[in-house]
Amino acid sequence: MDLFDLSGHVSIVTGGNRGIGFGLARGLAQANASVAIWARDLAKADEAVERLDGIGKGEVVAVGCDVSDERSVGDALEATVDRLGKVDSVFANAGVTSGVTFPDMELSELEHVFEVNVAGVFLVAREVARHLIARDAPGSIVITSSIAANRGNPTAPHYSASKGAATALARALAVRLARHRIRVNVIAPGWVATEMTDDLQGNERFEDALRFRVPLRRWGTAEDFEGAAVFLASPASAYMTGTELVIDGGYSAF
Ligand code: NAP
Q: Are 190 and 145 in contact (CB under 8 A)?
A: no
Would you call 56 helix, strand, or coil by DSSP? coil
Question: Known catalytic residue: 239?
Answer: no
Q: Given pLDDT bands bounded at 50, 70 and 90, which one contains residue 51?
A: very high
Question: What mean pLDDT, rounded, does the chain reach?
Answer: 97
- Atom in ligand 1 nearest the alpha carbon of residue 163: 34
pLDDT for residue 46 is more than 70: yes
Is the bond leading into 103 cis (omega within 30 degrees of zero)?
yes
* Tens digit of each residue's pLDDT (9 = 90 or more) over 96-146: 999 888 999 999 999 999 999 999 999 999 999 999 999 999 999 999 999
Q: State whether the beta carbon of 42 lies less than 6 angstroms from ligand 1.
A: no
Of the candidates 228, 227, 224, 226, the one whose C-alpha atom is nearest the C-alpha of residue 244 is 228
Mutate to test the pocket of ligand 1, among 42, 115, 196 (most ligand atoms within 8 A of CB): 196
Q: Given pLDDT bands bounded at 50, 70 and 90, which one contains residue 154?
A: confident
pLDDT confidence of residue 1 = 60
Q: State whether the beta carbon of 113 lies less than 6 angstroms from ligand 1.
A: no
Categorise residue 231: left if φ over 0, alpha if ψ from -120 to 50, beta otherwise. Answer: alpha
Residue 194 per-residue DSSP state: S
pLDDT confidence of residue 2 = 86
Which residues lie closer than 8 Å to 76 by C-beta, 6 or more apart? 36, 38, 63, 64, 65
Q: Please give the CATH number for the structural domain made up of 2-253.
A: 3.40.50.720
Quote the pTM value: 0.98
Q: Given pLDDT bands bounded at 50, 70 and 90, which one contains residue 195?
A: very high
